[in-house]
Structure 1
Amino acid sequence: MTTYRIAVLPGDGIGPDVTNEAIKVLNRLEKMDETFKLDLETFDWNSEYFLKHNTMMPEDGLDQLKKFDAILFGAIGDSRVPDEISIWQLIMPIRKQFKQYVNMRPIKQLPGIKSPLKSDAPIDFVVFRENAEGEYSNIGGSLYDGQSQEMAIQNTVITAQGVERIAKYAFEYAQKNNVRKVTSATKSNAIIHSMKLWDTVAEKVANNYEGIELESVFIDALAAYFIQKPESYEVVIASNLFGDILTDLGAALVGGLGVSPSGNINPEREFPSMFEAIHGSAPDIAGKGIANPIAQIWSAAMMLEHLGREDLATVVMNAIEKVIMQGQIVTPDLGGTSTTEQLGDAIANAIEEQF
Structure 2
Amino acid sequence: MSGHKIALLPGDGIGSEVIDASLQVLDKAAQRFGFTLNYTRFDWSCDTYLRTGRMMPEDGIEQLRKSNSILLGAVGWPQKVPDAVSLHGLLLPIRKAFDLYVNARPHKLLAGVTGPLRAEAFDILCIRENTEGEYSGAGGRVHVGTPEEVAVETSVFTRRGVERILRYGFEQARKRSRRLASVTKSNAQKHSMVFWDEVTEQVARDYPDVSVTRYHIDAIAARFVMQPETLDVVVASNLFGDILTDIGAAIQGGLGFAASANVNPNGGVPSMFEPVHGSAPDIAGRGIANPLATIWSAALMLDHLGESAGAAAILEAMSRVTAKGNVKTPDQGGRATTSEVAAAVAAELS
Which interval holds the TM-score relative to the shorter structure? Answer: over 0.9
How far the C-alpha of 1:118 sits from its partner, in A, is 2.1
List per-residue Cα deviations over 1:108-134 (Å, max 9, x = no partner). Answer: 1111101111233x1111000000101
Q: Equivalents in 2 of 1:152, 1:97: separation in Å?
A: 27
Shift of 1:32: 3.0
Q: Identity across aligned pairs (percent)?
A: 49
Tell me what 2:193 maps to.
Answer: 195
Give the CA deviation at 1:285.
Answer: 1.4
Q: Provide the residue aligned with 2:213 in structure 1.
A: 215
Q: Work out the number of aligned pairs and report it.
A: 349
Give me the whole-angstrom Cα distance separating, in 2, the residues matched to 1:261 and 1:93: 20
Q: What's 1:304 paired with?
A: 302
Matched ranges for 1:51-200 at <5 A: 51-78=50-77, 79-120=79-120, 122-177=121-176, 179-200=177-198
Q: Quote the residue 1:20 is aligned against.
A: 20
Structure 1 consecutive aligned stretches of length 4 or more whose deviation exceeds 6 Å: none
Mapped to 2, the partners of 1:276 and 1:32 lie a distance apart of 23
- Tell me the residue number matched to 1:6: 6
**Corresponding residue of 2:315:** 317
Which whole-Å CA distance do the structure 2 matches of 1:16 and 1:263 have between them?
18
Give unmatched runs, 5+ long, in structure 1: none
Letter in 1 for 2:330: P
The letter of the residue matching 1:85 is V
Unaligned runs of 5+ in 2: none
What secondary structure does 2:261 align onto?
strand
Note the alpha carbon deviations across 1:176-208, whole angstroms, 9 max, x for none.
22x221001100111111111111111111111
Q: Could you say which residue in structure 2 is the equivalent of 1:36? A: 35
Distance in 2, matches of 1:295 and 1:42, equals: 20
The 3-state SS of whatever aligns with 2:272 is strand
**Secondary structure at the counterpart of residue 138 of structure 1:** strand
State the Cα distance separating 1:351 from its structure 2 match.
1.1
Q: Are the equivalent residues in 1 in contact too, given 2:30–2:310 (CA < 8 A)?
A: no
The TM-score, its normalising length taken from structure 2, stands at 0.98
Which residue of structure 2 aligns with residue 284 of structure 1? 282
